Amino acid sequence: MVLNSYMPVKLITGRDCVRSSGKELKKLGSRCLIVTGRTAAKSSGALDDVLCALKDNSQEAILFDSIGQNPLLTDCMLAAEKAVSFGADFVIGIGGGSALDAAKCIAVLAANPGMTREQLYAFDWANEPLGIAVVGTTAGTGSEVTKVSVITTPDGRKKSFHHELIFPAVAFGDARYTMSLPERITRSTAVDVLAHCAESFFSRAANHISQLYAVEGIRLLLPVFRGFAEKGYDGITYEEREALYCASIYGGLAINVTGTAFPHTMGYLLTEQFGIPHGTACAVFQKEFFEYNKSVEPSLAERFLAEIGCSEEEYLTLIAEITPDCGVVMTEELVSASHSRWVGNGSIAKCRGEFTADMADGILREKFVR
C-alpha cells in the first residue's frame, strides 16, 4: 500500500481561527505585504481579522488589493516591487485561489528582484521565496495546502508552476468567510472541488492516501449538491458552507499528491478564450472524464462510485445541475489551433489508458462546435 505524501503546511481551521491563532504570523517576520482581490477579503471580514492579528503582534503591513481572477504575472511583478520597497519579509494572501496563487508567485518574485518570466518558470531562483501565509475565502481551489501557483502570462495563457518552496508556512481556514459568496461563485468553486477530487482519484499518480482524500472530499460535497438540487441556493447553512470548505481542503490535499488531469488543462482554454470561471471550465468536462475512465478502467470507476456512495446516473446528474451554464460556441479553427496544447501535456499524461490529443479535439468538437 502506497501512502507517499508531503504537506508541510500548518493548517488551522474553525470559526475565528485567525483571531485565536494570529500569533502564528509572528513567526514569519515583522513586515508583510497583504495580497487580495478588490472586494472579497474586505466583505468577508477576513482582512479585518488579519489586520487585527498583525496589530496585536506589533507587525507592520502594506496592502496590494489589485489581484483579479486568473491573476496576471504583470500584477504579481508590481506587487513584488511594492513588497521590496516596503521591506516585507513575508506575504499574506487573502481570498480565493487567485489571491493565494498570486501570493505564492509574489513571494518568489519579491525575494528575487528583477526576475524574468523565464527564470520564474525555470526555477532559476537565486533566493528562496519570502514566507507565505494564506487565508482562504472560497471553497474551491484548495490552494491553502498546495505547492502550486497558476498565473496568467502576458500572452494570455494560464501557466502553473509547482515547487515545494511555495507551500504556505501557515494556512487559516474559516468557513465563515465564505458565507457572503453569491450563488454563481459558490457553485463554480464547489464543482472545482469535485474536479480536483475526481481527477485525483483516477490519476496514474494516485495512491491510497490521495484516493482517501478524494473520496472524503466528494462525500462531503454530495449532500450539499443534493440540497442545492432539491431546495435551490437560498438558505444555505453555515454547516453546508463548512462542508464545502472542508471538501476543498481534501481536494487540495489530493491534487497535492497527484496533480490534475485533462479537464483542468482543457478548462484553461475556456477560461482564456471565453472568460469562463475556472471551476465551471473544469466541471464541464467531468462527464466525459468519468466516461473515459469507465471505458479504460471499469473496475476503478465502479469502486469510485461505491466509495462515494452514489450511482453513476445521480453523480452525472448532480454535476450537470450544479455546474453553471457556460454557453460556449467554438470554431473548428480554435479546436485545430489548440491541438498542440494537448501534445505532451503533463496533466493529460496523468490520465489512465492512452488519452490522446485527438481525443481532446473530439471532445471539444462534440461539446462546442456548432
User: What pLDDT tens digit does each residue of the chain (370 aa) get?
Assistant: 888 889 999 999 999 999 999 999 999 999 999 999 999 999 999 999 999 999 999 999 999 999 999 999 999 999 999 999 999 999 999 999 999 999 999 999 999 999 999 999 999 999 999 999 999 999 999 999 999 999 999 999 999 999 999 999 999 999 999 998 999 999 999 999 999 999 999 999 999 999 999 999 999 999 999 999 888 888 799 999 999 999 999 999 999 999 999 999 999 999 999 999 999 999 999 999 999 999 999 999 999 999 999 999 999 999 999 999 899 999 999 999 999 999 999 999 999 999 999 999 999 999 999 8
Buried b (16+ CB within 10 A) or exposed e, 314-336: ebeebbeebbbebebebeeeebe
Q: Distance (Å, rounded) from C-alpha 332 to C-alpha 340?
A: 14
Fold of the 183-368 domain = Dehydroquinate synthase-like, alpha domain (1.20.1090)
Cell digits for 91? 506575504
Q: Distance (Å, rounded) from C-alpha 105 to C-alpha 264?
A: 20
pLDDT at position 230, please? 87
Residues of the chain with CATH 3.40.50.1970: 10-177
pLDDT at position 225, please? 96
DSSP 285-301: THHHHHHHHHHH-HHHH
Q: Which CATH architecture has domain 10-177?
A: 3-Layer(aba) Sandwich (3.40)
Residues of the chain with CATH 1.20.1090.10: 183-368
pLDDT at position 235, please? 79
Report pTM. Answer: 0.96
Q: Distance (Å, rounded) from C-alpha 141 to C-alpha 159?
A: 15
pLDDT at position 168, please? 98
